[in-house]
Structure 1
Amino acid sequence: MDFKRIILVTLCLALATSLSVAQHNTLTSKEKQEGWKLLFDGETTDGWRGYNKESFPEQGWVVEDGMLSVVEGGGGGDIITNEVFEDYILKLEWRVAKGANGGIFYAALEQPGEAIYWSAPEIQILDNANHPDATRGKNGNRKATSLYDLIPADPQNANPFGEWNEIRIVVENDGAHVEHWMNGEKVVEYERWTDEWYQMLEESKFAPHPEFGAAHRGYIGLQDHGNKVDFRNIKIKELE
């Protein structure tokens, strides 16, 4: 291969990579008409800040190659949206490194001195095959896309580490009805503030925290669990 051809191939690969990145973190015309908006533009951390902080963490998180990522070792803490939301559909994609653990929070409150998970229900993010949490908890309720430590995802259809998973979260009826969807299938569905909800909490580690899952409106959060996790295509559509 001559020098000119090497340069041409290199330029083509760079262009293909650039186009691939550009296709992510954008809205289609249809999405715009339907009222979707981006929560991550693929280039900046605009719209996000640290939990119980005024600004975005200076370490532990990076934006590169069109992804918002927790770096291995973390250290920046969990992050939340600047805005609070009540009824909505949230879409995003995630992938994990081998053995990684993470989470997506919703209906989160900010409580000084308290971890975000004492108020916010969490969608588990996990490498099921290589992280010990997959065999802990009860009936698989710590596996990927489960309502963490409460309701197991069924079916359990997470792709392995290194591959992307598509999440959709539906929150409606003033925050009472919640659905978790992964890779095109509904895997969790439940109602908050019912007798069954309160009984489930009474039998869980969240029992000492009456604020858990209590907020109708709250922040959306992403967890820094100290493991490499990538996010992209984070979009939300608020429901009337």
Structure 2
Amino acid sequence: MKRTLIMGSLFALLLVGLNAAAQKKGKWVTLFDGKTMKGWRGYNMTGIPNAWTIEDGALKINARSATTNERGDLLFDQKFKNFELQLMYKVDKGANSGILYLAQELPGKRVYQSAPEFQVLDNENHPDAKAGKNGNRKSASLYDMIPATPQVDKGFGQWNEARIIIKDGHVQHFLNGKKVVEYTLWNEDWKNMVLNSKFKDWADFMNAGGESRSGFIALQDHGNNVWFKNIKLREL
């Protein structure tokens, strides 16, 4: 009887643990509270570059100036594998930035050398919109690889809603409620896309997510004014 009670108690504890893990997995977590940079730091840094500030409840990367001389991409200091990420972003006229995912932190290398990028851009006024192939450097595109279709960016000065879903290597980009990009990592199609892009010589990019198939979420410093807010994530 005693053995049965012990086994029953252990089984009950196991069920509680599994239920708690399941609840945590599907729960939305706020990554930016609109007031502090808790949880964030510069890429390959321990602190926050002074180019990043908080303005009206948004994380802002400021344009280059004498007072924003500490530059660098910003990352949330936790790796994620399968997740749904939602946020709002707004760009200044002529601005460029990006939302990078599955990023690895590699000494001596830039974050984009290991991470796919959801492009953030002023399509009308930044020259990168006319570079690449078939618009694959416009807003919400998988940068330099897959154009966002349809292109529903609202233009500079307007808030856009971005959503990125990754589940076992299957990736989707959404912009303002529309699915605009869909692809699968690490298969032959992925390898061929990389080989036909500017990333063809970067092994870390080809193997996005590294051995664990997980990585950091990062916001890019491209030297322009860009705002991010309402950043939240749920693990899948």
**TM-score, normalization by structure 2:** 0.84
Equivalent runs, 1:122-141 vs 2, <5 Å:
122-141=117-136
Aligned to 1:168: 163
Aligned to 2:227: 230
In structure 2, how many angstroms separate the alpha carbons of the residues matched to 1:33 and 1:85? Answer: 11
Aligned to 1:204: 197
Are residue 65 (structure 1) and residue 42 (structure 2) matched?
no
Native 8 Å contact 1:67 1:231 kept in 2: yes
How many Å apart are 1:194 and its aligned residue?
1.1
Aligned to 1:98: 93
Are residue 143 (structure 1) and residue 135 (structure 2) matched?
no
Equivalent runs, 1:72-111 vs 2, <5 Å:
72-73=63-64, 75-111=70-106
Return closer, same or farther for 1:163/1:136 CA change in 2, 3 Å cut-off: same
Post-superposition Cα deviations, 1:175-225, rounded to whole Å, max 9, x if no partner, equal: x10000000000000001111111111122211111105211000000010
Are residue 155 (structure 1) and residue 150 (structure 2) matched?
yes
Q: CA-atom RMSD, angstroms? A: 1.6
Structure 2 residue matching 1:212: 3-state secondary structure: helix
In structure 1, how many angstroms separate the alpha carbons of the residues matched to 2:71 and 2:54? Answer: 13
Aligned to 1:221: 218
Count of residues in correspondence between the two structures: 206
Q: Which runs of 5+ in 1 are unaligned?
A: 1-31
Structure 1 residue matching 2:46: 3-state secondary structure: coil
Structure 2 residue matching 1:89: 3-state secondary structure: strand
**TM-score, normalization by structure 1:** 0.83
Q: Tell me which stretches of 4 or more aligned residues in structure 1 moved more than 2 Å.
A: none
In structure 2, how many angstroms separate the alpha carbons of the residues matched to 1:213 and 1:129? Answer: 30
Aligned to 1:23: none
In structure 2, how many angstroms separate the alpha carbons of the residues matched to 1:110 and 1:65? Answer: 30
Among 157, 167, 178, the alignment partner of 2:171 is 178
How many Å apart are 1:56 and its aligned residue?
1.6
How many Å apart are 1:33 and its aligned residue?
11
Amino acid across the alignment from 1:50: G
Are residue 35 (structure 1) and residue 27 (structure 2) matched?
yes
Are residue 51 (structure 1) and residue 43 (structure 2) matched?
yes
In structure 2, how many angstroms separate the alpha carbons of the residues matched to 1:206 and 1:67? Answer: 31
Aligned to 2:17: none
In structure 2, how many angstroms separate the alpha carbons of the residues matched to 1:63 and 1:221? Answer: 16
Return closer, same or farther for 1:125/1:49 CA change in 2, 3 Å cut-off: same
How many Å apart are 1:64 and its aligned residue?
2.1
Structure 2 residue matching 1:187: 3-state secondary structure: strand
How many Å apart are 1:34 and its aligned residue?
5.1
In structure 2, how many angstroms separate the alpha carbons of the residues matched to 1:132 and 1:184? Answer: 26
In structure 2, how many angstroms separate the alpha carbons of the residues matched to 1:76 and 1:234? Answer: 21
Amino acid across the alignment from 2:133: K
In structure 2, how many angstroms separate the alpha carbons of the residues matched to 1:217 and 1:203? Answer: 24
How many Å apart are 1:76 and its aligned residue?
2.1
Amino acid across the alignment from 1:76: R
